[in-house]
Amino acid sequence: MTQLTMAKSINEGLRRAMADDPKVLVMGEDIGKLGGVFRVTDGLLDQFGAQRVIDTPLAESGIMGAAVGLAFRGYRPVVEIQFDGFVYPAFDQIVCQVAKLHYRTRGNVKMPITIRIPWAGGVGAAEHHSESPEAYFVHTSGLRVVAVSNPQDAYVMLRQAIASNDPVVYFEPKRLYHQKGEVDLDVDLADAPPMGLARVAREGSDVTLLTYGAQVSTAMDAATAAEDDGISIEVIDLRSISPVDYRTVAASVRKTGRVVVTHEAAREAGVGAELVASVTEQCFNYLEAPPVRVTGHDIPYPPAKLEKHHLPDLDRILDAVDRVLDRPNSQTGREEWGSLESGRGAAVGGSRA
């Protein structure tokens, strides 16, 4: 066991995966000499050389398409997208090729590509540097999607993602890069919990709080704060957001009967929507209150000085906890979708024709 930052634990994950399997290579922008803008690939170029640590031209579709070709050739490319907001030029290659080639070729061509994405906000960054695009990939059949919340998971799940024959989108919360945690680099990967399993991060009995990535620590803080009010929150770190380990989720919900989901991404058709819908389908008779989502607003990511009003923080989570417990909360006395009841014409938009 050793204390490592998440950035370093991912770095170790890459290093050891590359040492163990000559087919593993990493590619992306500025990952060579610079070691990546977050230094996650630091030292890899020196150790493995320019054929396995590839500084690519500045073109994400090109990177992803080349990775597909390398996978055709039997390689296991680990692609770094420099920031969450720069994955979109690669979207076509991801959705139409990476996700579908195994299906298209009836299993003959494997796509063991890991797409690493430094992810989400809370770091005061410029536009496009704080996005949470995970729902796009969760909605894309043929991909697996994971989000890590601590250095140990970051290490183990990266190794598992690289070892998987399926494409995995691997989200790394930027705001946790420099947080340290205990990491056992010598863990037996076969024995470690598979990346598909959720983890009960904290046990509780009143409310199930579902989340992933950096929001796990916010959720843990909320659970601690709620304890003072005598509220016992069970926090589940989903780890894999596609597929979701509903066995663990359902066990919790059947116990608590109350669910809050939180993520940074916009709410509409986000991962939270899937979680609420699935939990409702599976645990309806156990639910004591409608699940509540605490998410980013349905707005483009705002300027850095305003991001704290966008990101679901401890207070917004606790307010939602109050809601599912039917305690006084910010929406008490407000009709749900109150504004809907009034002004039919004007409020629906798009009527200027």
Partner 1 sequence: MTHTLTPTAEPAVDVDDVARLLNQDGERIADRELDPYVADIDAEALRGLYRDMALVRRIDTEGVALQRQGQLGLWAPCQGQEATQVGTARAFRSDDFVFPSYREIGVNFVRGAVPSDFVLAWRGEAHSTYNPYDINTATPQIIIGAQSLHAVGYAMGIQFDGTDQVAAAYFGDGATSQGDVNEAMVFASSFRAPVVFVCTNNQWAISEPVTVQAKFPIAGRAPGFGIPSLRVDGNDVLACLAAMRWAVDHARRGNGPAFIEAVTYRMGPHTTSDDPTRYRDKDEVERWRRRDPLTRVEALLRAQGEFSEDFERQVAADADRWGADVRSACLSARTREPIEVFDNVYDEPHVGLDAQRAQFAAYLDGFAGEEAGR
Ligand X SMILES: Cc1ncc(C[n+]2csc(CCOP(=O)(O)OP(=O)(O)O)c2C)c(N)n1
Interface of this chain with its own copies, residues 315 to 344, rule: CB under 8 A: 336-337, 340-341, 344
Q: If you search the block for the tokens 């994950």, which residue do you land on? A: 13
| Secondary structure letter of residue 288 according to DSSP | S
Angstrom distances, CA of residue 196 to CA of 5, 26, 199: 23, 23, 10
Q: Does 102 bind partner 1 (CB under 8 A)?
A: yes
* 269: number of Cβ within 10 Å: 14
Which residues inside 40-79 make contact with ligand X, applying CB under 6 A?
Answer: 58, 60
Our CB check for ligand X shows the closer of 129 and 323 to be 129
Which residues inside 29-68 make contact with its own copies, applying CB under 8 A?
Answer: 61
- 309 annotated active-site: no
Our CB check for ligand X shows the closer of 96 and 197 to be 96
Amino acid at 184: D
Q: At what angle do helices 314-324 and 215-228 cross, to 10 degrees?
A: 60
For 57-64, the CB contacts below 8 A with 24+ separation are 58/29, 59/89, 60/86, 60/87, 60/88, 60/89, 60/90, 61/89, 61/90, 61/92, 61/93, 63/27, 63/28, 63/29, 63/90, 64/90, 64/93, 64/94, 64/97, 64/98, 64/115
Q: Does 334 bind partner 1 (CB under 8 A)?
A: yes
Tell me, rounded to whole angstroms, the distance of Cα 294 from its chain centroid.
15
Stretch near partner 1 under the rule CB under 8 A, chosen from 8-16, 55-63, 178-186, 283-291: 55-63
Q: Using CB under 8 A, which of 89, 180, 192, 232 touches partner 1? A: 89
Nearest residue to 300 via CA among 126, 87, 128: 128
CB of 119 to ligand X, least distance (A): 14
Q: Using CB under 8 A, which of 8, 202, 263, 316 touches partner 1? A: 316
Which residues inside 98-137 make contact with its own copies, applying CB under 8 A?
Answer: 99-100, 103-104, 127-128, 135-136
Q: Does 166 bind its own copies (CB under 8 A)?
A: yes
Q: Does 109 bind partner 1 (CB under 8 A)?
A: yes
Tokens representing 121 are 């906000």
Q: Using CB under 8 A, which of 243, 306, 308, 328 touches its own copies? A: 243
Residues that bind its own copies (rule: CB under 8 A) add up to a total of: 86
Which residues inside 79-138 make contact with ligand X, applying CB under 6 A?
Answer: 82, 86, 89
Residues with active-site annotation: 129
